[in-house]
Amino acid sequence: MRPPLAVGLALLGAVVAARAQVPPTFPTQIELVQIEVRATGEGDVPVSDLRREDFVVEEDGQRQEIELFEYVAGPGPEAARVEAVEPDALAAEAPSPSQYTWLYIAPEVANPTEFVHVAGPLRDFLAHLPDKFFVSLAGLPFTDSRELLLATLDRMVGEPFNDQGAVVDPLLAYHEDLTFEREVLLGLRRQDAILPAFVGLIREPAAEVAGTVETSIDDIRGMLSVERIDRQIIFFGRLALLRYLDLIERMGAFPGKKMILLYRSGLFLEVGHADLLAEITAAALRHRVSFFTLDSRGLEARVPVEERRVQDAWAVAGPRPPRDALGLPEARKQEVNGLVTLARSTGGRSVVDSNDTGAILQSILEESSRYYVLGYAPRNPREEGRFRKLRVSVSRPGIEVRAPRGYYERKPFDHQSEKEKSATLYRALLSQTPTDFPVATSVSYFAAPEDRTAVVFSTGVRPGNLVARKGKRPDPETTVLLRLRSRIRESMPVVLEQELRPEVGWESLEAAADDPTLYLAFNGRIDVPPGPYTLKVVFRDDRSGRLGSYEEALDVPSFAGSSVPSSLLLTRQAGPRDDPSGEARDEADAASGPLGDPLAMGDLRLTPEPVRVIRQGHVVYCAFHLYNAAAEDFEAAEAGMQLGLLRGQDWVEPGEVRAGGQPFPDPENGIIRFVGWIDTEKLPPGRYTLVAVLPNYQDRQVPDLSGEFEVLPP
C-alpha cells in the first residue's frame, strides 16, 4: 500500500560561484553590521564628498563607532573610495569589493506567457550590462558575459520548463488553480440555488463528476472549503519566503552589492508570515541584499492556463458556477502587497499594476551606484531576536539621508517558537548541506503498482551526535525531513517529516554513543515514476538545534520488460512477519496487490538500515526480486539461491562461511523473490562484497547483483 505523501516544496536552483578568474578573492574580516546609506542634497542630487566623521550612526539610542566607510560610485570604471580601520586588509592591487554588483534574476511565473512579457526589456538590459556587474539567470552560474546571458535568456524563453534555468514554477500554477476555486466557493456562498455538479471542485462520488447528480452548496462546502484553500495558499507563501531566505544567506558570501530581481505572479503574505519576513529583513541587512519585485502579470487581462482547463470542464458538468466578483480584486491586491512588502523590507523597490517592465531594471541601475557603506560592531553583542532601531544622520546641513530604520537580531534556537524552529528546519532542506554531524542513508529499488518504482530508504544518525538530557527521560529527540524531488521539475516534490523519540536509558545511550553499528533511523517507502531524482535528508537535534544532512542524485530505474531484477537489499535486521500463517497475513498480501510488500519473503520481513556495518558473529541478510520472470528463470530458481562472497579481490571459500538462501516463486504474477543470509561468526574483520547470481546469468548482460558490508570485531 502506497504511503501517504506530504507534498509541497518547490525548489530553487543553487547559487553557484562565479567564474574562477573573476572577481579576485578578499580576506575575511570581523562580521560587522553593514548598512547602505544614500545622501542627497538640493534637487535630490546625490552627495558624494561626505567623510566618515560627517556620519552619526545610533542603534537603540547608542552611538556606534563606524569601523568601515566606503563610497560606491557605481559598477563603472570609477573606483570606490574606501576608508577602513585597517586599510591594509585589502590587497593594494585588488579593486574594492564594493565595486562589484551581483544580480540574481529569479523568474517565478505561472505560465510562459508572463515571462515573454518581461523578456524584451530584460534582453536590452543584459545587452548593455555595466562593467563589474555579474548576473545569474534562474540559479545558473554568475557571469558578466553579455553573449552568454543573451543566449541563455533566449533558451529560457524557448524552453521555459527546462531544468537548467526553468522559468515556470509548478506551485504557482497550482496556486492559481486554488485561487480560482476559492473565488467559485465564495460566489456559491452568495446564492441558495441548487447547482449541477461540476468538474474541478468535486472529486467524489463519480456520479457527481459525470454531471448526473445535482448537489447543493452545502455538499460542495463539505468537499472543498475556503478555509482549507486559505491554509494551502498561506503554506505556499511560507515556502516562497523560505526559498528567499536561503538565497539571501547564500548570496552573502559574495562581496559588494547584492540584488535579487523577482519576476513573480503575485506573492500572498499574511500575519502568519511575520516571523519569516522579520528573519528575511535581518538577513538582507546583514548581507546587503535587496529585493526588486515585479508583478509579471502586469495590467493585461490574461486568462491563466489552469483557468482555461477548468473552464473546459463546465461543458461536461453543467453551467459555470458563479465567481466572487468582490474577492478577485481583493485577492489580487493581497498578492501585489506581498511583492511590495518584500521589496520595502529589504531596501529594494517594486513595480506592480504596471506594464512598464523596464522600470524595475532602471531602478536596479540607480540603486547600484552612488551610495555609502557604513559598518560597525554593535556595542551590545547579545542576540535574542529583538528589533534594533537604527538612526543615521549627517552633520552637514541641507542633506537628506535614506537608510534602514532597523533590523532584527538573530534568535538562538532555545528562544525560537515552534513555528520558527520548523521554518529553520525546512530552510535547511532547501539550502546547502549543514555539517554539524553526518547523516547515513541507504536506498533500494523495487517494482511498485501502476508502473511505478518503490524507493525504499533508511536514513539515520548516530545517537552520540545528539544531546540527551540526564534525568527521568534522558532520551534524545530529533526531527527528520526527507525530500525526493524529480530533476525534471515537472512534478511536485515528495516531503516526509518524522519525529524520532527512542526510549532508552542514559546508560544504554552512553554505551551506544561510540558504536558505529547503532543508528537512530527513519525507514520508509515512496512510490514514484522512474526517472532522475534528488534525495535530500535533514536531521535536527531538537535539544540543541544542530543540523546534519545527506544529499544524493538518484536514477530511479524502471522494471518494465522481461526478467528484470530489483536492487539488492543488505541488512542485519530481519524478523518474523506478523501472524505468519494466519488470515491477517493473507489479507495484508491481498491488499498490497500482486507485487506485495517488497521487504517480505516467506515468513520473514527485512528492515533496511542506513549503514552496512555489523559486529562479527551477526547475520547479514540479503534480498532481491526478479520481475516478469521467464519460464527458464523459474526452472533455474529450483536449484536454490546462488551466493558468493569476496574479501577484497579474493573469493571466500564455501567451507569458511555458513550461508544459505531460498527462492519464493510466484508464477501467477511472474515474480521470483529471493532471500539469503550469511553468518559472519567465522569471518575476520574487514570489508566484504556479497554477490547474488541471477537465474540464467550466462544469458544476461549483468549476470549478478552485489553489495558491500563491513565486519567489525565483536
Max distance between CA atoms of the chain, in angstroms, equals 97
- Looking at residue 444, its pLDDT comes to 95
| pLDDT value of position 497 | 85
| Distance (Å, whole) CA 623 – CA 610 | 16
The yes-or-no verdict on residue 367 having pLDDT over 80 is yes
Q: Which helix (H) or strand (E) holds 402?
A: strand 400-402
Strands 604-607 and 531-541: unpaired
CATH superfamily of the domain spanning 561-714: Immunoglobulins (2.60.40.10)
Provide the Cα torsion 666, 668, 669, 675; round to 10°. Answer: 0
Residue that has been written with the C-alpha cell 535579487 in this structure: 260
Write the pLDDT tens digit of every residue in 295-320.
877 644 333 333 332 333 223 333 44
Identify the residue whose cell numbers are 535587496.
290
Interval 361-373 mean pLDDT: 85
CA 249 – CA 15 distance, rounded (Å):
10
For residues 381 and 616, give the distance between their C-alpha atoms in angstroms, rounded to a whole number.
53
Q: Which among 536, 421, 540 is positioned nearest to 480, based on CA atoms?
A: 540
The residues, any chain, with a CB within 8 Å of residue 667's CB and separated by 6 or more, are: 634
How far, in Å, CA of 529 to CA of 51, rounded?
63
pLDDT of residue 525: 92
The domain spans of the chain are: 561-714
Confidence at residue 167, expressed as pLDDT on a 0 to 100 scale = 64
Model confidence pTM above 0.85: no
Cβ pair 174, 309 in contact under 8 A: no
Q: Is the pLDDT of residue 197 over 50?
A: no
DSSP code string of 440-493:
EEEEEEEEETTTEEEEEEEEEE-GGGS----SS-----EEEEEEEEETT-SSPP
- Tell me the per-residue pLDDT of 91-147, one tens digit each, with 9 for 90 and over: 333 445 567 789 998 887 766 777 777 888 888 889 988 888 889 887 788 888 899
Cβ–Cβ under 8 Å, residues 279 and 345: no
Average pLDDT rounded to a whole number, residues 57-70: 91
Pick the most confident of 67-71, 77-81, 158-162: 67-71
Percent of the chain whose predicted confidence (pLDDT) is above 70: 69
- In tens, the pLDDT along 464-507 reads 888 776 655 557 789 999 989 888 755 667 888 888 877 655 56
